[in-house]
Amino acid sequence: MPSSGPDPRGLLDLAVAAAHAAGRLLEARPDRALTVDTKSTATDVVTEMDTAAERLIVETLLTARPDDGMLGEEGGRRPGRSGVRWVVDPIDGTVNYLYGIPQYAVSIAVELVSPGPAAQHTGAGHTGAGHTGAGEVVAGVVHQPATGATYTAVRGEGAFRDGRRLSVSGQGDLGQALVATGFGYAAGRRARQAEVLRAVLPRVRDIRRFGSAALDLCLVASGQVDGYYERGLQPWDLAAGALVAREAGARVEGLHGGPPGERLVLAAGPALFAALHDLLAPLGPDRD
Ligand code: LIP
């Protein structure tokens, strides 16, 4: 990062403040049925609280840094002029939130982008480990409002939960590995993902499907799951949690050395990564 660039630690402090403010809003949900819309399918939902939380996060970030770019899941998108872009998922695990299940998170990552056309890029999709199509993620926070847990990372400076350093598991035996995964919203993709799962399940200790990619990646970072894979993640699901996992010692990649992204995200400690990759690769987990 150019020495003249903004200090990632200061950017992280701002991200944590915005995530905590959104967490307080989300935990103070109204005592009535939430207004719910759908997106890609009838089960891909966005609630009024997703929208309100993103609005609060964007307002907090841009009040402090008005020239920054923004890529938010619920439409908070704008190019920037500062060389800094925020990647925001106001509720990762929206279905869990809707059902009152505490496994949901606020995910905010910040990337440094090269000024010029790339800085205008607001597309989804990762182009490399730590990149989100326009720059490199240098800091991130994943906050679980229901428990208060706050996962943080600055590139090159380790990963933490509530200030305590995290480290991935040393599990190297596939048959003893606890592996998290997730499923898409489209029936055809879910059927394909079930085929992959059918082949994986007998080969590992067990599977966990918690419902939040950002928290799944943080559980890899803390060693509370040994590995994670999922197809269909967007940059806002992935950006902060991938940095936390990598800074805790995980490999976070696609297949065959490719970058993590919508096609597939695979995360595990170095002792397990190759075995989990070689189990998955022939199954075509990156194809519908
Ligand atoms: C969710 C992901 C999760 C995936 C869900 C959903 P959202 O993100 O975090 O890993 O399995 O299908 O995509 O939609 O709650 O922000």
What digits encode the pLDDT tens for the residues 19-65?
Answer: 999 999 999 999 999 999 999 998 999 999 999 999 999 999 999 99
In this structure, the residue with its CA closest to atom 16 of ligand 1 is 92
pLDDT at 217 over 90: yes
Taking CA atoms only, the protein residue closest to ligand 1 atom 6 is 93
- Is residue 249 within 6 Å of ligand 1 at its C-beta? no
Atom of ligand 1 nearest to the CA of 182: 11
Taking phi over 0 as left and psi of -120 to 50 as alpha, with beta for the rest, 266 belongs to beta
What's residue 134's pLDDT? Answer: 61
- Find the 183 Cα to ligand 1 centroid distance in Å: 8
Has this prediction a pTM greater than 0.85?
yes
Tokens found for residue 74: 């619920």
In this prediction, residue 133 has a pLDDT band, given cuts at 50, 70 and 90, of low
Pairing of strands 45-47, 265-268: unpaired
Ligand 1 centroid to 188 CA: how many Å? Answer: 16
CA of 36 to the centre of ligand 1 (A): 16
Q: Specify the pLDDT at position 128.
A: 40
Our answer on whether the CB atom of 107 is closer than 6 Å to any ligand 1 atom is no
Per-residue buried b or exposed e for 245-262, using 16+ beta carbons within 10 Å of the residue's own CB: bbbbbbbbbbbeeebbbb
Cα(106)–Cα(19) distance, integer angstroms: 6
Instruction: Measure the CA–CA gap between 204 and 276, rounded to whole angstroms.
Output: 9
What is the atom index within ligand 1 of the atom nearest the CA of 44?
14
Give the C-alpha separation, 185 to 208, whole Å. 18
Query: Does the beta carbon of 50 lie inside 6 Å of ligand 1?
Result: no
pLDDT higher than 90, residue 191: yes
CA of 172 to the centre of ligand 1 (A): 27
